[in-house]
Amino acid sequence: MIDPVEEERAVEDVIAGDVFDAPEPSEDAAVESIPAPETSLSAEEIRQEIDRAVEARLGGIPRPRYIPATDFAPPRGLLLYRAAPRSGDFPFAVSLGGYMQLRWLEFARGAPTWTDSRGVVRPINNINTFNLNRFLISFTGHVVDERLIYNFAFFGTSDAGVRSGVVPIGMAGWKFSEAATLGAGVTQVPGSREWLSASPWNLGVDRSMANTFFRPGFSPGAAATGSLLDNTVHYQAGVWNAIDGGTSGVLRRGTSMAWAGNTWWEPLSPFGFGYGDMEQHEEAAIRLGTSGVYGRTYAIGALGLNPEDTIVRLSDGTALALPGALGPGSRVEQFRYHLATVDAGWKYRGWAANFEYYFRTLNGFQGTGPFTRSSIFDHGGQGYLSWCFVPRTYEVYARSSVVTGPYGTGQEYGGGFNWYVNQSRQGRFTLEALHLNRNPAQNILYPYRAGSTGTAIQTQFMVAF
């Protein structure tokens, strides 16, 4: 397996290579390359000489170059421009990247209705739909100084309709070293391992039911990230407006914020990205991690513009913000949210196993009472087992997750097949089947609808660039 340090150096050499350092020929040189006109030259010969001079001129201009994914890092994208180091030019670089998920989902219900915590009977609907499930266009680079980095992206989906809005996300920060980068912007609140795994690198079609139920969302905030101890210990930690900066962030009043952190340790060798081992680790890789989130937040019953917004729900799928969710006549307006997770992962020669467990407490309820409970504790976990039986090409996997709490228990289990096109994570076809039993999670980007029981069959083609 390629040493990730050497691999990173090679990528940097490409980024700062001769294509971007090549001296730009002067106009005088371009003119001198054209021989003095002679009366014996024909018009065609003059045009050829001019074409050669133009090609010589263009040959010294920096050209865009594509930096693909490696075994340990996602693609850098299309490097549109980078000022040549030591050239004296204004420090600036910009790369274009992104991804797209094309998905077909069919959900066959296993029951016609479900009953929420208030006693309201709700229908369970069949689903059959094609969608551009996610798309993201991003711009990354540095400006003013190579340490002043930025990442800006437009994110959207057709799941909310073809006229739905596009959500801006991104950050800017100062990279002191590999050990510490401090930045601010609209980012994920780092509440779980699977939540921080970017959508293109999921082992299956999407993240698990348990993760969708427990994790926070996106929010404006400030955070520090980095790696320590020879890049074996990694961390993300900071403060955000709320556990979710969508509608909850708009309603936010006062000084209370959400605090979150996530750390992981890779003691043996670099783990790489994603849950599967399509790269075929020749040496065993282990990842051990944990995360925690605390915040006082507003209870919301409707999503904002970002389809990844989080609505906190009870373990039967009832939204906490609904009138009567915690008893007749009650309505929760604010509450405290506590989340802790532990996770472990292993990869070796095409085999991989990953596990994460979640512990969540909701308390400090404010609003219209009385409330039937002063505190609610929910917990659950998810697990994946995979085998890439043709290295870098064909992979099978099994997955399951569970959520349990005072209002009931929900489960999912199933599996699928991945085909990595051209032996790359950047193009992947997935076929997956999942059975859901009293699912408590809901998000239109996933097959999860609150309270649903039934079977979901999904196919997806994902490209990342």
The count of structural domains within the chain is: 2
In the chain, % of residues over pLDDT 70: 87
Single out the residue of 460, 464, 462 nearest to residue 103, CA to CA.
Answer: 460
Residue 151 and residue 50 share a domain: no
Residue 75 and residue 52 share a domain: no
b/e per residue, 202-214, with b = 16+ CB within 10 A? bbbbbbbbbbbbb
Residue 177 and residue 28 share a domain: no
What is the model's pLDDT at position 24?
Answer: 45
Residue 34 and residue 83 share a domain: no
Residue 197 and residue 118 share a domain: yes
What is the model's pLDDT at position 166?
Answer: 87
What is the model's pLDDT at position 162?
Answer: 78
State pLDDT tens for residues 209-240.
999 999 999 999 999 999 999 999 999 999 99
What is the model's pLDDT at position 20?
Answer: 44
* Amino acid, res. 402: V
* Amino acid, res. 392: R
Residue-level pLDDT, tens digit, the chain, 465 residues: 445 545 555 445 544 443 344 344 444 444 444 444 455 777 787 788 887 877 777 666 667 889 999 998 899 999 999 987 777 789 999 999 999 999 999 999 999 999 999 999 999 999 999 999 999 999 999 999 999 999 999 999 998 887 777 889 999 999 999 999 999 999 999 999 999 999 999 999 999 999 999 999 999 999 999 999 999 999 999 999 999 877 666 666 777 899 999 999 999 999 998 999 999 999 999 999 999 999 998 887 666 667 788 889 999 999 999 999 999 999 999 999 999 999 999 999 999 999 999 999 999 999 998 999 999 999 999 999 999 999 999 999 999 999 999 999 999 999 999 999 999 999 999 999 999 999 999 999 999 999 999 999 999 999 999
138 bridge partner residues: 97, 153
- Per-state percent for the chain, helix, strand, coil, to nearest 5: 15, 50, 40
Residue 117 and residue 31 share a domain: no
Q: How far apart are alpha carbons 418 and 354 in whole angstroms? A: 17
What is the model's pLDDT at position 14?
Answer: 46
What is the model's pLDDT at position 21?
Answer: 41
Whether the full predicted model's pTM is greater than 0.85, yes or no, is yes
Cβ neighbours of residue 44 under 8 Å, at least 6 residues apart? none
Residue 446 and residue 372 share a domain: yes
Q: What does the H/E/C string look like for 389-403? A: EECCCEEEEEEEEEE
DSSP output for 239-288: EESSS--SHHHHH--SS--EEEEEEEE--SS---SSSS-TT--SS-EEEE
What is the model's pLDDT at position 300?
Answer: 79
Residue 159 and residue 33 share a domain: no
What is the model's pLDDT at position 108?
Answer: 97
How far is residue 173 from each of residues 77, 146, 209, 316, measured CA to CA in Å? 20, 11, 33, 41
Residue 222 and residue 125 share a domain: yes
State pLDDT tens for residues 317-326.
999 999 999 9
Residue 106 and residue 243 share a domain: yes
Residue 233 and residue 98 share a domain: yes
What is the model's pLDDT at position 22?
Answer: 39
| Cβ–Cβ < 8 Å for 81, 93 | yes
The two three-digit tokens of residue 366, written as one number: 């404010």
We report the CATH number of the domain holding residue 295 as 2.40.160.10
- State the residue range of the domain holding 31: 23-59
Residue 12 and residue 47 share a domain: no
